[in-house]
């Protein structure tokens, strides 16, 4: 085994026989160990230099040095200030942030751990004398990972936006099929893993009262049965934050630790291999099955690399080769062998969060979980247009955070009926709800089934699947000015890697707007007040330089104070922090009001600054001064634009809220 030349740590990888190969990583794949942040003394020294250059740039040199030295030294100070700022930013912020996103080192488990897990699973089965009911429970666990829609009847997924996170709450309505339920509740009716069936006349003479008596007799045993049900199957490397798993009564359910989960996987794999050969493979001469089992366990135990790659995926292939190379007829149940290969294929790249769920007499149970999710911030790239690029950055600079995010439909294909609900705050309403990739996704999967059915009797299984599989269906809740969005779908197809348009699970995007009046109305009031005051004082100042009072200077500052107080001094409200249009209007109001106040004081002091002549002789609402005319036009344009946006948003909300519905629904009246 080699020693890593960078860290001195031993690294191994999986061989085909379950052992490990030595592996060496390059320095670029090491975990982030530094660059450390600059020392406080160096940061203080650089800050002092920056402040000194800024003071020199503003104050300049003494007058006795001459104008040439004054402007030359200022230009040199400006260049040094920019270079020092760039260097300080890269050293203090850019490099540490970039280094923190480098790939982290992942140490794989030693090769002998697969042998330990295999031996532990065999000893556990031998000591506990695994019953047929336990074998069925392991099969339920396996099928719930591979075919989750066979057990999950309905999933309701609800999102609640927070300040920067989303609270995801998922409720699962599950049903254990009747055949498997009878095998779990009444293991004495089993023979070699199959249900003992009565003859047809006996089945026809069975009455409903006898069935009810049988169910009541099994209810006592059901209270003692526990199903190990996979709640989540995330990709390896994905962390689940603040996970809480709850039963239908709100009580917390226990979950398996990672060691217990691996033990469960090993027991399920051994059970499937025993079923496939019809006997315990550890007592026979199936050395190929033992080797394939070791490789499969090694694949299930391996850890994902930061880039999503995996060292090996040969365990599932080795299990498939057991059935393909069976020339002596040793494999009695190739279906169990296929199930084992599918299980390892899934658990090579994913892991399961397993909860212990009590099994009710009817096999139907409700389980829910909630967790915190942090959405990735999507900034519009430049290729989408300069306006979109600018608006995305402006929202960050001005603190405008609309409710606009997308949700992946990863849970939709794992159930027969799927509901997605997004709850927002009371001051917003649904503006946009779309899923552009949903129709191509459905079309690709339905065309695949149609093509398989059109091939005729050569593939009767595919044709039967096409005839029995219902077409997918989806629907959005109509927009009616409500604060929540609701998406529903059923018979959602599972993604397939061999299908061009059906590989990636589509996303649903929701965008919420403010309910009038909102922040836009406050911006309208302040912008209109600023435009009126600027025009009034500009009209007077253009005819009389000194009106004999300083009141106009104070009046012009009031819109700026009001804009700052109404727009930026508020309590944080989850994801919605005011629209970009309102923030831009408030900033324009503040700047124009302060500029008007300064212009008034300059005119009153009869300074020559900004005393421009109106070359064209055009008057703006009776104002002769060019400076006052330009400032008045800025204020009027600002008030007009934000008023138009307010009227348009109000009409949109009114239109959505007052559209008649084709269904009977409550009605809200606005009357005198």
Q: Examine the fold and report which residue of 370, 392, 423 is the final residue of a domain before the chain moves on.
A: 370
Give the domain extent around 444.
403-513
CB 539 within 8 A of CB 632: no
Residue 21 maps to a domain: no
Structure tokens at 193: 């893993």
pLDDT at 40: 76
Residue 205 maps to a domain: no
- Give the number of domains in the chain: 4
Assign 309 a pLDDT band (cuts: 50, 70, 90): low
pLDDT higher at 271 or 28: 271
Residue 7 maps to a domain: no
Taking the alpha carbons of 312, 313, 316, 320 in that order, is the dihedral positive or negative? Answer: negative
Structure tokens at 424: 């927002």
Whether residues 365 and 266 share a domain: the answer is yes
Listed ranges 432-436, 462-466, 516-520, 559-563; the one with the highest mean pLDDT: 432-436
Assign 145 a pLDDT band (cuts: 50, 70, 90): very high
Per-residue pLDDT tens for 41-60?
A: 887 888 888 888 888 887 77
Structure tokens at 512: 């919420």
CB 661 within 8 A of CB 480: yes
Whether residues 509 and 524 share a domain: the answer is no
Residue 130 maps to a domain: yes
Per-residue pLDDT tens for 565-596?
A: 655 544 444 445 567 788 888 888 888 888 88
Whether residues 270 and 127 share a domain: the answer is yes
Q: Examine the fold and report which residue of 463, 492, 513 is the final residue of a domain before the chain moves on.
A: 513
Rounded to 5°, angle at Cα 361 from 355 and 364 = 55
State how far the Cα of 490 lies from the Cα of 419, in Å rounded to an integer: 9
Pairing mode, strands 417-423 and 152-161? parallel
Residue 484 maps to a domain: yes
Residue 531 maps to a domain: yes
Assign 418 a pLDDT band (cuts: 50, 70, 90): very high
pLDDT higher at 11 or 559: 559
Question: What is the average pLDDT across 452-460?
Answer: 59
Q: Is residue 274 scored above 90 in pLDDT?
A: no
State the burial class of residue 596 (Cβ atoms within 10 Å of its Cβ: 0-12, 13-18, 19+).
buried
Whether residues 128 and 78 share a domain: the answer is no
Whether residues 486 and 529 share a domain: the answer is no
Q: Which residues pair with 158 in a beta bridge?
A: 169, 421
pLDDT at 540: 75
Model pTM above 0.85? no
CB 181 within 8 A of CB 363: yes
State how far the Cα of 443 lies from the Cα of 446, in Å rounded to an integer: 5
Assign 307 a pLDDT band (cuts: 50, 70, 90): low
Whether residues 85 and 124 share a domain: the answer is no
Q: H/E/C letters for each residue in 314-344?
A: HHHHHHHHHHHCCCCCCCCCHHHHHHHHHHH
State how far the Cα of 76 lies from the Cα of 66, in Å rounded to an integer: 16
Instruction: Look over the chain and give the mean of its residue pLDDT values, rounded to a whole number.
Output: 75
Question: What is the average pLDDT across 11-39?
Answer: 44
State how far the Cα of 486 lies from the Cα of 506, in Å rounded to an integer: 16
pLDDT at 367: 93
Whether residues 491 and 538 share a domain: the answer is no
Give the DSSP H or E segment for 405: strand 404-408
Question: What is the average pLDDT across 241-263?
Answer: 90
DSSP assignment letter at 91: I
Question: What is the average pLDDT across 626-641?
Answer: 86
Is the peptide bond between 352 and the residue preceding it cis, with omega within 30 degrees of 0? no
State how far the Cα of 587 lies from the Cα of 585, in Å rounded to an integer: 5
pLDDT at 666: 67
Phi and psi torsions of 502, nearest 5°:
-115, 20
- Of the candidates 333, 341, 339, which has an alpha carbon nearest to the alpha carbon of residue 300? 341
Question: What is the average pLDDT across 135-160?
Answer: 89
**Given its phi and psi angles, is residue 275 left (phi above 0), alpha (psi -120 to 50 degrees) or beta?**
alpha
CB 25 within 8 A of CB 6: yes
Taking the alpha carbons of 521, 526, 527, 532 in that order, is the dihedral positive or negative? Answer: positive
pLDDT at 104: 65
- Of the candidates 206, 186, 210, which has an alpha carbon nearest to the alpha carbon of residue 198? 206
pLDDT higher at 559 or 509: 509
Assign 371 a pLDDT band (cuts: 50, 70, 90): very high
pLDDT at 37: 65
Residue 385 maps to a domain: no
- Of the candidates 536, 631, 641, 632, which has an alpha carbon nearest to the alpha carbon of residue 585? 641
Whether residues 456 and 532 share a domain: the answer is no
Q: Which of 260-274, 357-371, 603-617 shows the lowest per-residue confidence on average (mean pLDDT)?
A: 603-617
Whether residues 325 and 275 share a domain: the answer is yes
Phi and psi torsions of 471, nearest 5°:
-70, 150
Q: Is residue 461 scored above 60 in pLDDT?
A: no
Assign 155 a pLDDT band (cuts: 50, 70, 90): very high
Pairing mode, strands 364-373 and 417-423? unpaired
Per-residue pLDDT tens for 487-498?
A: 999 999 989 888
pLDDT at 154: 94
pLDDT higher at 329 or 8: 329
Whether residues 490 and 563 share a domain: the answer is no
| Residues of the chain above pLDDT 90, percent | 12
Q: Examine the fold and report which residue of 455, 484, 513 is the final residue of a domain before the chain moves on.
A: 513
Structure tokens at 215: 């169910």
Q: Is residue 130 scored above 70 in pLDDT?
A: no
Pairing mode, strands 241-247 and 353-358? unpaired
Q: Which residues contact 550 (CB under 8 A, 6 or more apart)?
A: 604
pLDDT at 471: 85
CB 546 within 8 A of CB 137: no
For 618, other C-beta atoms within 10 Å of its C-beta total: 10
Q: Which residues contact 374 (CB under 8 A, 6 or more apart)?
A: 164, 165, 166, 241
Whether residues 651 and 532 share a domain: the answer is yes
Whether residues 358 and 419 share a domain: the answer is no
CB 325 within 8 A of CB 292: no
Residue 44 maps to a domain: yes
Per-residue pLDDT tens for 533-568?
A: 888 877 777 766 666 666 666 677 777 676 666 555
């Amino acid at each position: 085994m080699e020693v890593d030349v960078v860290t001195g740590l031993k690294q191994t990888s999986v061989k085909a026989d379950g052992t490990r190969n030595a592996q060496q990583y390059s320095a670029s794949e090491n975990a982030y160990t530094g660059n450390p942040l600059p020392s406080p003394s160096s940061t203080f020294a650089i800050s002092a230099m920056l402040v000194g250059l800024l003071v020199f740039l503003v104050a300049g040199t003494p007058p006795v040095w001459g104008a040439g030295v004054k402007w030359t030294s200022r230009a040199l100070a400006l260049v040094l200030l920019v270079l020092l700022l760039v260097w300080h930013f890269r050293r203090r912020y850019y490099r540490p942030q970039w280094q923190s996103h480098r790939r982290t080192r992942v140490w794989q488990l030693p090769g002998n751990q697969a042998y330990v897990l295999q031996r532990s699973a065999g000893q556990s089965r031998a000591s506990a004398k695994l019953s047929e009911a336990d074998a069925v429970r392991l099969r339920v666990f396996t099928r719930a990972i591979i075919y989750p829609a066979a057990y999950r009847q309905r999933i309701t997924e609800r999102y609640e936006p927070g300040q920067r996170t989303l609270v995801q709450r998922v409720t699962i309505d599950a049903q254990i099929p009747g055949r498997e339920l009878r095998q779990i509740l009444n293991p004495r009716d089993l023979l070699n893993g199959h249900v003992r069936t009565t003859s047809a006349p006996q089945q026809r003479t069975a009455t409903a009262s006898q069935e009810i008596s049988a169910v009541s007799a099994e209810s006592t045993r059901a209270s003692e049965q526990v199903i190990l049900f996979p709640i989540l199957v995330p990709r390896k490397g994905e962390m689940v934050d603040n996970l809480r798993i709850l039963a239908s009564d709100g009580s917390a359910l226990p979950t398996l630790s990672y060691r217990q989960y691996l033990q469960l996987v090993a027991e399920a794999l051994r059970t499937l291999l025993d079923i496939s050969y019809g006997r315990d493979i550890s007592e026979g001469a199936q050395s190929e099955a033992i080797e394939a089992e070791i490789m499969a366990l090694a694949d299930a135990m391996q850890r994902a690399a930061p880039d999503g790659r995996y060292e090996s995926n040969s365990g599932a292939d080795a299990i498939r080769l057991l059935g393909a190379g069976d020339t002596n007829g040793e494999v009695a149940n190739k279906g169990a062998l296929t199930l084992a290969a599918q299980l390892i294929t899934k658990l090579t790249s994913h892991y399961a969060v397993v909860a212990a769920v009590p099994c009710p007499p009817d096999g139907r149970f409700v389980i829910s979980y909630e967790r915190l999710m942090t959405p990735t911030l999507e900034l519009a790239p430049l290729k989408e247009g300069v306006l979109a690029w600018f608006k995305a950055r402006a929202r960050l600079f001005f603190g405008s955070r609309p409710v606009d995010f997308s949700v992946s439909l990863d849970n939709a294909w794992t159930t027969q009926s799927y509901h997605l609900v997004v709850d927002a705050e009371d001051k917003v309403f649904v503006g946009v709800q779309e899923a552009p990739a949903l129709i191509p996704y459905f079309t690709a999967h339905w065309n695949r089934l149609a093509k398989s059915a059109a091939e005729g009797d050569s593939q009767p299984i595919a044709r039967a699947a096409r005839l029995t599989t219902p077409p997918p269906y989806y629907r959005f809740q109509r927009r009616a000015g409500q604060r929540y969005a609701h998406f529903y779908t059923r018979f959602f197809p599972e993604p397939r890697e061999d299908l061009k348009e059906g590989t990636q699970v589509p996303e649903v995007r929701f965008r919420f707007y403010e309910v009038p009046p909102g922040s836009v109305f406050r911006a309208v009031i302040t912008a209109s007040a600023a435009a009126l005051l600027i025009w009034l004082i500009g009209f007077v100042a253009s005819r009389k330089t000194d009106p004999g009072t300083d009141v106009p200077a104070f009046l012009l500052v009031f819109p700026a104070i009001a804009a700052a107080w109404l727009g930026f001094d508020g309590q944080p409200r989850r994801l919605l922090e005011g629209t970009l249009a309102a923030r831009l209007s408030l900033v324009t109001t503040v700047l124009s009001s302060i500029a008007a106040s300064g212009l008034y004081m300059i005119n009153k002091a009869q300074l020559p600054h900004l005393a421009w002549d109106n070359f064209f002789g055009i008057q703006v609402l009776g104002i002769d001064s060019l400076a006052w005319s330009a400032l008045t036009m800025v204020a009027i344009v600002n008030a007009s634009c934000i008023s138009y946006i307010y009227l348009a948003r109000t009409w949109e909300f009114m239109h959505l809220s007052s559209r008649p519905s084709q269904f009977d629904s409550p009605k809200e009246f606005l009357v005198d």
